[in-house]
Chain A
Amino acid sequence: MNKIVLNAKQMAVVQKYVDGSYSPFFSSTEDQEAMNQVLDMANELEEELDAYDESGDDLVKWFWKQYQKQEQQ
């Protein structure tokens, strides 16, 4: 598994998402693009690890946990 690298913008949108304040309709284009990038990375990782069961019903939260685990190591 490659190291997950998130820039500040990507981390910020994930944090908004986790907090419940991210909006699919009313976020800025920059935020939407950052979230798209996060979702692409999350999809790739989920596929690479065949983690479709483990990721459960929330891909972003699963991906964020993977990132946090990695940063703690």
Chain B
Amino acid sequence: MAKTSGSNSNSKPPKSGGLKENDSNYKGKVGKMESLASISNPAVYKTVKESISRFHSVLGVRQKDIKIATLDAGVGGVHLTANGVSKQVVLNKQVFNGKGTTTQSIAKWAEAGYKSGHLTKTNKPVAHIVTHELAHATWNSNLSSPNAKAASSSVNTLYKKWKKDKSKSGYGKYATSNVNEFFAEVSTKAVHGKADKYTKAVKDIIQKYKL
């Protein structure tokens, strides 16, 4: 298990993080669930709570069950799925409540991704990580609820159109990797980045299918 990620510049990065492609089927260990109120750094707690509030207000969806727990091998966060339905979002305690964790130490992970062109740039790097996880829980291709399945066709069509579009801007390359990462990164851009036709389309899909 990786030591606290993002604790300080000398700490080792977690082995993995963010939402894995097959994350909704996460079978790793989930430690004791704790309330977000257990986050000891007030600034980190405030930033996480604000990230969740903004996600709710901009996208009009409510992921209510958000906890913190120790996850396998430094995963940044996961969403847990039961019977094809998003059940819970769990942020990794090591990332968000490790020894010496600060907003700056968390932010540096996303900022490195901005610098490399890997991640979709926002001005809220900590919120980016939280929002990305919430977006995966809102929709991913593994969900089997009727609304999620109905939305899949629209999301896949949008993903294809977006990949063909050479004029799009502001996106990190990782958003290209698969439809789930595309949805999470476009949603994150919708909440914390510059709006465009794709962020609008994702918001419309979320609204249309009541995700």
Q: Does B112 sit within 8 A of A, measured CB to CB?
A: yes
Across the interface, B178 reaches (CB within 8 A) one of A21, A26, A60, namely: A60
Residues of B within 8 A of A (CB): 5, 13-18, 20-23, 73-76, 109-110, 112-113, 115-119, 129, 132, 141, 156, 159-160, 163-164, 172-174, 176-181
Looking at the assembled complex, report how far the CB atom of B52 sits from the nearest CB atom of chain A, in whole angstroms.
Answer: 17
Nearest chain B residue, comparing its CB with the CB of A33 = B116
- Please state if B74 and A26 are interface contacts (CB–CB under 8 Å): yes
Nearest chain B residue, comparing its CB with the CB of A36 = B173
Across the interface, B129 reaches (CB within 8 A) one of A25, A52, A53, namely: A25
Determine the distance from Cα of A42 to Cα of B88 in the docked complex, in whole angstroms.
33
- Please state if A52 and B112 are interface contacts (CB–CB under 8 Å): no
Q: Does A7 sit within 8 A of B, measured CB to CB?
A: no
Across the interface, B163 reaches (CB within 8 A) one of A24, A43, A61, namely: A43
Majority-rule SS of A interface residues: helix
Q: Does A39 sit within 8 A of B, measured CB to CB?
A: yes
Q: How many A-B residue pairs have CB under 8 A?
A: 103
Interface band, chain A: 20 to 34
Q: Does A22 sit within 8 A of B, measured CB to CB?
A: yes
Determine the distance from Cα of A59 to Cα of B110 in the docked complex, in whole angstroms.
23
Q: Which residues of B contact A40 (CB under 8 A)?
A: 173
Determine the distance from Cα of A9 to Cα of B17 in the docked complex, in whole angstroms.
19
- Please state if A20 and B118 are interface contacts (CB–CB under 8 Å): no
Q: Which residues of A contact B18 (CB under 8 A)?
A: 23-26
Q: Does A17 sit within 8 A of B, measured CB to CB?
A: yes
Q: Which residues of B contact A26 (CB under 8 A)?
A: 5, 13-18, 74, 76, 109
Contact A20 B20, CB 8 Å, known A25-B113, A36-B116, A36-B117: yes
Determine the distance from Cα of A40 to Cα of B173 in the docked complex, in whole angstroms.
8
- Please state if A39 and B16 are interface contacts (CB–CB under 8 Å): no
Across the interface, A29 reaches (CB within 8 A) one of B112, B176, B181, namely: B112
